[in-house]
Amino acid sequence: MAKVKLGPVKVSPMGLGTWAWGNTLLWGYNPSMDNELQQLFNFATSKGVNFFDTADSYGTGKLNGRSEILLGKFIREFQQGTQKDIVIATKFAAYPWRVTPWQMVQACKGSLRRLQMEQLGIGQLHWSAANYAPFQEQALWSGLAEIYKEGLVKAVGVSNYGPKQLVKIHKYLEKQGVPLSSAQVQFSLLSMGTDQMEVKSVCDDLGIKVIAYSPLGLGMLTGKYQASSTSLPQGPRGLLFSRVLPGITPLLDALEEIARKRKKTMSQVAINWCICKGTIPIPGVKTLDQARENLGALGWRLSSDEIAQIEAAAANSPQKMIQNIFQTK
Q: What is the rounded distance in angstroms from the CA atom of residue 201 to the CA atom of residue 197? A: 6
Query: Do residues 326 and 162 touch, judged by C-beta distance below 8 A?
Result: no
CA dist 82 and 325 (Å) reads 38
Alpha-carbon distances of 5 from 144, 182, 210, rounded to whole Å = 21, 11, 11
Q: Tell me, what's the pLDDT at 325?
A: 59
What's the burial of 196, exposed, middle or buried (CB within 10 Å: 0-12/13-18/19+)? Answer: buried
Q: Which of 58, 148, 161, 225 is catalytic?
A: 58
* Bridge partners of residue 120, in order along the sequence: 153
Confidence at residue 262, expressed as pLDDT on a 0 to 100 scale: 97
Output the pLDDT for position 185. 95
b/e string for 260-285 if b means 16 or more Cβ within 10 A? eeeebbbbbbbbbbbbebebbbbbbb
Measured in whole angstroms, the distance separating CA 307 from the mean position of its chain's CA atoms is 22
> Could you tell me the residue ranges of all domains in the chain?
4-219+277-287
Single out the residue of 122, 124, 195 nearest to residue 162, CA to CA. Answer: 195
Beta carbons of 145 and 118 less than 8 angstroms apart: no
- Of 206, 190, 211, nearest to 277 by C-alpha is 211
- Buried-state track 201-235, b at ≥16 Cβ within 10 A, e below 16: ebbeeeebbbbbbbbbbbbbbbbebeeeeeebbee
Tell me whether residue 29 is one of the annotated catalytic residues. Answer: no
Integer Cα distance of 277 and 187 in angstroms: 10
pLDDT score at 243: 85
Distance CA 254, CA 131 (A): 37
Q: What is the DSSP string of 141-187?
A: HHHHHHHHHTTSEEEEEEES--HHHHHHHHHHHHHTT--EEEEEEE-
Q: Report the pLDDT value the prediction gives residue 13, as an integer from 0 to 100.
A: 98
Q: pLDDT value at position 27?
A: 77
Give CATH superfamily name and number for 4-219+277-287. Answer: NADP-dependent oxidoreductase domain (3.20.20.100)
> What per-residue confidence (pLDDT) applies to 81?
54
In this structure, how many other beta carbons lie within 10 angstroms of the beta carbon of residue 80? 8
* Cα–Cα distance measured from residue 172 to residue 175, given in angstroms and rounded to the nearest whole number: 5
Q: Per-10-residue mean pLDDT for the chain, 329 residues long?
A: 95 96 84 94 95 92 88 86 83 95 97 96 95 92 98 98 95 98 96 86 97 94 80 78 88 97 98 98 96 97 98 88 66
- The C-alpha atoms of residue 226 and residue 260 are separated, in whole angstroms, by 18
Give the pLDDT confidence score for residue 234 in this predicted structure.
75
**Whole-number pLDDT of residue 324:** 63
3-state secondary structure of 226: coil
Please state, in angstroms and rounded to a whole number, the distance separating the CA atoms of residues 272 and 266: 10
CA dist 201 and 187 (Å) reads: 13
